[in-house]
Chain A
Amino acid sequence: MTDLTTQYLILSAILFSIGLAGVLRRKNLLMLFFATEIMLNATNVAFAAISVHLGDLSGQMFALFIIAVAASEVAVGLGLLILIYKKYGTLDLDNLSIMKG
């Protein structure tokens, strides 16, 4: 494994960890979305790096798919967020616990 690929993977891991930390620690739903995007892009970086490393284009194609899916996900998600905000007046997760066991 070349140094460059390793460095890209390390970057991907760092980005993923940042995203995961955001998902776990953030209380604002919008911020959670951002964190998810970071995690998705971390995987994209990893895909692209390994694709180049192996000389196989499938990884890069997969990354493109993820970008498309993530875009549509954000489009739907933001719409929902606006509706939630209109309904409850907040995006704080601690105040949105309506489905309890």
Chain B
Amino acid sequence: MESYVYIALFAPLVSSLFAALFAQKPKVQLVGIATSILIGAALVASVILLLDIEETGKAVSVNLMDWIVVGDLDTKFGFTVDQVTVIMMTVVTLISTVVHVYSNYYMESDKSFNRFFSYLSAFVFSMMILVMSDNFLGLFIGWEGVGVCSWLLIGFWYHKKDETRDVNPSISPSWAANEAFIMNRIADLGMLVGIFLIYWNLGTLKYTEVFAHIGDLSHAMLVGIGIALFIGAMGKSAQFPLHTWLADAMEGPTPVSALIHAATMVTAGVYLVIRANPLYSQIPEVGYGIAVLGTFVAIFAASMALVNRDLKRVIAYSTLSQLGYMFAAAGLGAYWVALFHLAAHAAFKALLFIGAGNVMHAMHDELDMFKMGGLKKVMGWTFLYMGIGSLALSGIYPFAGFFSKDTILEVAFNEHTYGIWFVLWLTAGLTAFYSFRQVFLVFFGDERYHEIGAHPHEAKPYALWAMAPLAIAAVTVGFFKEDFVEFVTKFLPEYEMSEHTEHMVVILTIITTLVALTGIVVAYLKYAKGLKRDLEFEQNNKIYKLLYNQYYIPVIYDRVFAKPYKELSDIAWKEIDMQVVDASVDGIAKFVEKSGDASRKAQNGNLSSYLNWMAAGLVFITVIAAIAVAVQ
């Protein structure tokens, strides 16, 4: 089995390096095919591992080599594949394979085709390290690796003009890439502090050893570690207040959004909380805080998605919102529920994004949904896929989202946190509304795209085929819930609903479905028959403007953090760097140059004067020596 672990881990690396060989060259179709096959091999290896672990119930561990052996610190490059890891691996490699194949279509006319595949595979490799590592240090390496790849891929079209938010509301890729990276760095500091605290107190970073002794620590220390690690998770998973980068990350190519900013990387934070469940089980108050924050983000992001007109941003906000759901579940102690929602969400959210990619291609990169409409006729398959994705996202039976989201709501109810339950319930309605607002705006109603002169066309057949596994997953994953629970609870703590909740399940399910259906019906009534814009409402309604401008948070961040920081940097540059640091360095150089210039004249080529100088020097040294002797 160990060789499969290596295949799953290193096939993406080989793939990335292979593509990198052609990075500077014009498009080589072989690169796209070879990388897809290699990532596919990682998928096959992951599935084999999944089946094996299901059969034996034992984790597969490998030790690659000693990594850091300094004094007491002894960290190995070790990987372990247990139930949680193998689920993550399967999800990551499945979405990656689909996205790689799809990218052959999406990036077919991009001049940096080869470079794109190199980055994409490098991302998969980093993500595999993140999920497979058996210690916190390896996790952190993968954590940073996905951050770098995310930066590379968001800024993939770095040549687009760099404009700040004041100039252009749809900002430039390089700006967005930097924003994402810097936001993540802020959070990574928290993560590092958490890792340091663990090492400081326990002297090891290996999961098994850490979690075996976690109970020995004082409660305050556990709370500290839990909060520090969660700050790291907040950055990667774009939780409030570090959420703004995710929507801006949509400037990257759409397959990137599907893979990184919907299905895999952003779920790393959730994975961390699930992985550290023995820690968070000890500190339920922090877990409750996580759940409350997740719930807040769920409705907060959903509210922004209600009014946004940008196709990809709506899906980005819904990703944020669903991440909130996952944190709510994980925070309340239902770790397997969070993992289940993570897996199901990965499938249907990647499907939605890839569908959005098809629409973008058809609309010549136009993203404003108000300029689309009626695409159902020309893009039947894409409509079907996005319809499935939206139904799954809205939580309609029998799609995947129904099972996972409903379980989260049941958990919230079971924990007697009715506030959380209510907000999540409301969010479910909003989710259904904005998902179908999007579907109806894009695929139904009048054909507004004629106004911008677009000639939409359906994607190529192999791109549509590539989406099929995701669609199948989005439809069927829910039916494997029982198997899933049995599989992962061998590793994760079980979560039992109380009898009271068991009685209520049917009623809860019905009212949740009702609110989702209401959302869909409202969206249908408002948008399906064509777009009737109320310009006065859009311009004057305060709530609409608040939501449309993302609660003005990007602007506030800009004013409160970015601008003062820039001014401070200006001062540091002009006053401190130029006046003090640069000036002193320049001064030394100038002094040497000037004194050299002055003493150069002494070297006049006349032996006689040299001898005079020599004699003078001799006298000088003798005098000094004499004085020194006299003083002694």
Contact = CB atoms under 8 A, between A and B. Distances in A.
B592 to A, nearest CB: 16
Contacts of A68: none
Interface string A19-40: 0100110110100100000000
Contacts, number: 33
A96 B615 CA distance: 20
Interface in B588-606: 600-606
Contacts of B606: 93-94, 96-97
Given A23-B615, A24-B615, A93 B608 contact: yes
A23 B610 CA distance: 11
B612 interface: yes
A101 interface: yes
Chain B, interface size: which category?
Answer: 10 to 19
B611 interface: yes
B270 to A, nearest CB: 73
A99 B605 contact: yes
Given A94-B606, A98-B605, A24 B600 contact: no
A100 interface: yes
Given A20-B615, A23-B615, A24-B615, A94 B608 contact: yes
B64 interface: no
Contacts of B601: 101
B603 A101 contact: yes
Contact of A101 (B600, B608, B612): B600
B604 to A, nearest CB: 6
B39 to A, nearest CB: 68
Contacts of B604: 97, 100-101
Nearest to A94: B606
B615 to A, nearest CB: 6
B605 A23 contact: no
Q: Output the residue of B600, B607, B615 with the most chain A CB within 10 A.
A: B607
A27 B605 contact: no
B616 to A, nearest CB: 10
Interface in A1-48: 20, 23-24, 26-27, 29, 32
Nearest to A98: B605
B602 A101 contact: yes
Interface in B11-46: none
Contacts of A23: 611, 615
A40 to B, nearest CB: 15
Nearest to B615: A24
A26 B611 CA distance: 11
B612 A93 contact: no
A86 B601 CA distance: 29
B293 to A, nearest CB: 73
Interface centre among B605, B607, B608 (most CB of A within 10 A): B608
Nearest to B602: A101
Contacts of B600: 101
Nearest to B596: A101
A97 B605 contact: yes
Interface in A81-96: 93-94, 96
- Across the A-B interface, give the 6 residue pairs with the lowest CB-CB distance, nearest first: A101-B603, A97-B605, A100-B605, A97-B606, A93-B608, A99-B605
Interface of A: 20, 23-24, 26-27, 29, 32, 93-94, 96-101
Given A93-B606, A97-B605, 14 more contacts: A20-B615, A23-B611, A24-B615, A26-B608, A27-B608, A29-B607, A32-B607, A93-B607, A93-B608, A94-B606, A94-B608, A97-B607, A98-B605, A101-B603
